[in-house]
Homo-oligomer: A and B are copies of this chain.
Amino acid sequence: MAKNIFYAQSGGVTAVINASACGVIETARANRRFGKVYAGKNGIIGALREELIDTSKESRSDIAALRHTPSGAFGSCRYKLKSIEESRAQYERLIDVFKAHEIGYFFYNGGGDSQDTAYKVSQLSKIMDYPITCIGIPKTVDNDLPLTDCCPGFGSVAKYVAVSTREAGLDVASMAESSTRVFVLEVMGRHAGWIAAAGGLAKEKRDDPPHIILFPEIAFNKAQFLKKVKEVVTKVGFCVIVASEGAQYADGRFVADAGQKDAFGHTQLGGVAPTLVDMIKSRHGYKCHWSVADYLQRAARHIASATDVEQAYAMGKAAVDFAADGMNAVMPIIVRKKNKPYRWSIGNAPLSKVANMERKMPRSYITRDGFGITGKAREYLSPLIIGEEPPPYRNGLPQYVRLRNELIKKKLQPFSI
């Protein structure tokens, strides 16, 4: 009998992770080799709790609408399984749930941590002698997965940041003579500057915004930064800055770290922009405005990159095709064939090599002074934001689908996580 598929969304969601889900479900529905697609309610937590969403209850049109709906339609989670030694009971529980519901395929849609989990499940299924085909589906706005040329989710954030930088740049230019001189846009990317770099695509001519980009990869030097701000304002009349939330000093302290920690003792970031503005105002006295894009940037399906949507869908589809072809413990990847015109194809990478590796911006993508992107970066980034695929609108608002998300009947005892 055809085995069922388990699909789960993991980590921070994106504007296009549901397009991958759409690719998985539509492709699996069209292939009789597969049974039903069960989605984890809130990601892997759903598997542990045996909370499985029966996607066969969803209409064809609702599944199709996933392609234009941001966020994680089945719920996601931040929940990393530890090593098999530390969390063996959890891995065994996963296998038990898979057994109970005749699941033969495990598709995990997430970043590096998730690919690590998928890899471990594939290892354990061998040991426990219950064969599971494990396929990773790449997803991360941070664009920091190795081996794949880019990650679904990134192109749309990149487009959002480039568009917003261009629009806000025009605004500041209009106001600079008698009011605002400096605008700071804070964007995501705690460890890698890919998203901040995308702001650089807004620039067409030399003095266009953004004038300064701050990357986590380049140690922040306050004196040099303030000098540069002044130079730009003097020359151009105003200064637009795109700052990564991960911008940090040479000693690794985050620029945004004013020493505050959250209830769990984690350093709370998200304040690079106001911190920079404080510096600029006290040194130069310029009137400043600042914006923190936060979730808006990764949820902004309304301005998603059509290229990104297409790739996200293709990765979901490829996962199912790989499984149908008998492949295991792999992740589909995007292979760049050509820059102009942009051509790409689908390759694959073993999960063992994807897990827990972070890809930072190459130094050659950042200008010598550390404040901008090079032609090489532009060549890499440009194709990823191409094309628009707007959602349908009703009454002026995007119509995003909300699924029924019906759970299947549990067969096992409760399991506490």
Interface residues of A (CB under 8 A from B): 9, 12-13, 15, 42-43, 45, 69-73, 75-79, 159, 162-164, 166-168, 170-175, 177-179, 183, 185, 201-202, 262-263, 268, 270-271, 273-274, 281, 285, 287, 289-296, 298-303, 305, 307, 382, 385-388, 390, 393, 395-398, 400
Give bound CA distance, A388 to B43, whole Å: 35
Contact (A78, B295) CB under 8 Å given A274-B271, A300-B164: no
In the complex the two chains form, is B281's CB within 8 Å of A170's CB?
A: no
User: What are 22 sample pairs from A and B whose C-beta atoms fall under 8 A apart?
Assistant: A42-B178, A43-B178, A45-B178, A71-B167, A71-B170, A72-B174, A75-B173, A75-B177, A77-B177, A162-B396, A168-B295, A168-B299, A172-B295, A185-B296, A270-B289, A291-B293, A291-B295, A302-B303, A305-B396, A382-B395, A382-B396, A386-B396
Interface centre among A170, A178, A305, A400 (most CB of B within 10 A): A170
Q: Which listed residue, B202, B273, B295, B390, touches A171 by the CB 8 Å rule? A: B295
How many copies the complex holds: the figure is: 2
Q: Which listed residue, B9, B76, B174, B299, touches A167 by the CB 8 Å rule? A: B299
In the complex the two chains form, is A292's CB within 8 Å of B295's CB?
A: no
In the complex the two chains form, is A167's CB within 8 Å of B292's CB?
A: no
Give bound CA distance, A386 to B394, whole Å: 8
Q: Which listed residue, B69, B175, B291, B385, touches A296 by the CB 8 Å rule? A: B291
Give bound CA distance, A69 to B390, whole Å: 19
**Min CB–CB distance A262 → chain B (angstroms):** 6
In the complex the two chains form, is B164's CB within 8 Å of A296's CB?
A: yes
Closest residue of chain B to A71, judged by CB? B170
**Min CB–CB distance A341 → chain B (angstroms):** 11
Give bound CA distance, A175 to B382, whole Å: 30
**Min CB–CB distance A110 → chain B (angstroms):** 12
In the complex the two chains form, is A302's CB within 8 Å of B70's CB?
A: no
Contact (A201, B397) CB under 8 Å given A289-B295, A295-B171: yes
In the complex the two chains form, is B395's CB within 8 Å of A174's CB?
A: no
Give bound CA distance, A202 to B305, whole Å: 23
In the complex the two chains form, is A400's CB within 8 Å of B183's CB?
A: no
Give bound CA distance, A72 to B201, whole Å: 22
Chain B residues contacting A73 (CB-CB under 8 Å) are 174
Task: Report, nearest first, the 9 A-B pairs whose CB atoms are least far apart.
Answer: A71-B170, A385-B396, A72-B174, A167-B299, A291-B294, A263-B285, A42-B177, A171-B299, A77-B178
Chain B residues contacting A307 (CB-CB under 8 Å) are 396
Contact (A395, B386) CB under 8 Å given A13-B174, A170-B299, A291-B293: yes
